[in-house]
Structure 1
C-alpha cells in the first residue's frame, strides 16, 4: 500500500511566526535584524518540530526577499528543510477596493508548478486579504505582536494533529478552527 504524501503546510512569517519592529518592546528581543527587533512567537520551536514530523513545510511571506530568507535562516531549526521559502517576488499585486490599497497576494495555484496539489496544501496566515483566493486552503490565526502569553501556535498544533491525515484539505471547514480543539 502506497503511503500518502504529507500535506504541505505553508507558513507566513511576520505576525505569524515572528514579530519584527523598529520600536523595541518592553520584553527582551530574540535577535536583531538591521533596524528591527525580532521576537519569536511563543512555542515557535516546539511548533516547528511538531509540524516537521507530520507535514512538508514551506514559508511564504509578502516581505522583501532578502529579509525573508535571512529571518528564516535565523529561526529555522537545523533539522528542518523547507520545500521552498518564497517572498514578495512570488506574490501577485492586486488592488483591494475594500481596503483601498494594493495587496500582495499569495496565490496557491503557483505551487502547482512545483508539483504540489491544492488538495494537499494548507496556508497559515494572519492576513486574510493576502490569501483571499485560497479559501479552501487557508487557516487564519491571530497576529502576534509580542505578547508573551500568546498560545496561538500551541492551539494550532492541536488542530493540525486532528487534520494531518485528511485526504483533501479543501473539504472541511477551517473557519472557527479554535472551537474544534479541547481547551484546558
Structure 2
C-alpha cells in the first residue's frame, strides 16, 4: 500500500508541490527577514513557547500519581546595564591596584596647572591699572662711559662730561647715551614704574641717573609747554627707586648678582621685569629678565627701539614669568 501511494504521489510531489513551496520560500524570504529584524517573528515564537511550557506545567501539576522533576527555570540573562556596571566596577578595582603597585610616571611632574589666561579680559588702554615695575641696568644697557683722555673716547651728540668724586678723588667721565635712549625712556615710563639697579657704586651712578632723569623731564616740559615742575601733573621723578653695588649679592668668581627677592615679595615678582645685558646679574630671576646686547659705541644700534613692542605687551599681561619663561623651555615646567 505504501509503495503504491509513493508511486502515485511521486510526480505531483516533486514536480508541483516542492517546486511551489520553494518558490514561495524565495518570494517571502525578504519579508521574513524584515519581520525578524522588527521582532515580530521572535515575539510570536516566544509566545508559542511560553504557552507550550505553561500547558506542560499544568499537566504535571494535574497528575497526582506521577512524581516528575519540575524543570528548573532558566536564569534571566543579565541586562546590558548590569553588564556595563560590572565592567566599570572591575576597571575601577584594577585601576586602584595599579595605582597602589606602580610608581607615578616621570612625566607627572610636568602636569602643573597652567595660568587661567595670559592677558586680562579687558585690555582697554584707558582703564587705569597698577603699573608693573621695570628695573633697568645702567652701564652698557642705557649708557656707556669712558674716563677723560681714554684712547677709546668718541664724540657724540648724546654725551655729557660728569665729575665723579670717590674717596675724595675726583675723576671726569664722558657718558654716552645709547641710541634712542631718551625716546625709549619716554615711552616705557608710560607703561611701567621705572627703577634703576646698577652694579656700580652710588657716587658714580647718581650723577648719571640724574642726567637721564633731567633730560627726560625737560623733554616733557617742552612737549606739554610746562613752565615749571610744579605745573606738571605727574611726578618730576622718573625713577622711583635706585639700587647700587651694595644692594647686590657678591659671589667670588662669579660677580655681582641682583637678587630682586631682597626688595620685592615673591608674590609680586609676577609684575616685575629686569632689563640687563649681563646674564650673571639676573641669574636668580631668569623668568623676569629681558635680555639685551651690551652697547659700547655702535651708533646704528636699534636694540632699545626694537624692545618697545614686546615691553608694551608685557605691561598688559597677568604674569610676566609665563611669557618670559618660555625662552627656558622645559625649565619652566620643572618649577
- Larger % of strand: which? 1
Structure 2 alignment gaps of length 5 or more: 1-121, 163-170, 218-235, 328-335
Once residues 256 and 272 of structure 2 are traced to their aligned partners in structure 1, the CA distance between those partners, rounded to angstroms, is 20
Partner of 2:184: 47
What is the Cα deviation at residue 157 of structure 1? 1.1
What is the Cα deviation at residue 162 of structure 1? 2.2
Cα RMSD (Å): 2.2
What is the Cα deviation at residue 64 of structure 1? 0.8
Once residues 191 and 290 of structure 2 are traced to their aligned partners in structure 1, the CA distance between those partners, rounded to angstroms, is 17
2:278 maps to 1:127: yes
SS at match of 2:153: coil
2:172 maps to 1:35: yes
Structure 1 alignment gaps of length 5 or more: 96-100, 177-184
Once residues 245 and 267 of structure 2 are traced to their aligned partners in structure 1, the CA distance between those partners, rounded to angstroms, is 20
Once residues 250 and 206 of structure 2 are traced to their aligned partners in structure 1, the CA distance between those partners, rounded to angstroms, is 20
For residues 80-159 of structure 1, the aligned pairs below 5 Å read 80-95=237-252, 101-112=253-264, 117-159=268-310
Native 8 Å contact 1:19 1:144 kept in 2: yes
What is the Cα deviation at residue 93 of structure 1? 0.6
TM-score (normalised: structure 1) = 0.84
What is the Cα deviation at residue 3 of structure 1? 4.8
Native 8 Å contact 2:288 2:324 kept in 1: no
Once residues 267 and 187 of structure 2 are traced to their aligned partners in structure 1, the CA distance between those partners, rounded to angstroms, is 21
What is the Cα deviation at residue 80 of structure 1? 4.4
Once residues 156 and 58 of structure 1 are traced to their aligned partners in structure 2, the CA distance between those partners, rounded to angstroms, is 17
What is the Cα deviation at residue 21 of structure 1? 1.5
Residue deviations 1:14-51 (CA, integer Å, cap 9, x gap): 00000012224333361112332111001011011101
Native 8 Å contact 1:139 1:174 kept in 2: no
- Larger % of helix: which? 2
CA, structure 1 residues 173+44, in 2 after alignment: closer, same or farther (shift >3 Å)?
same
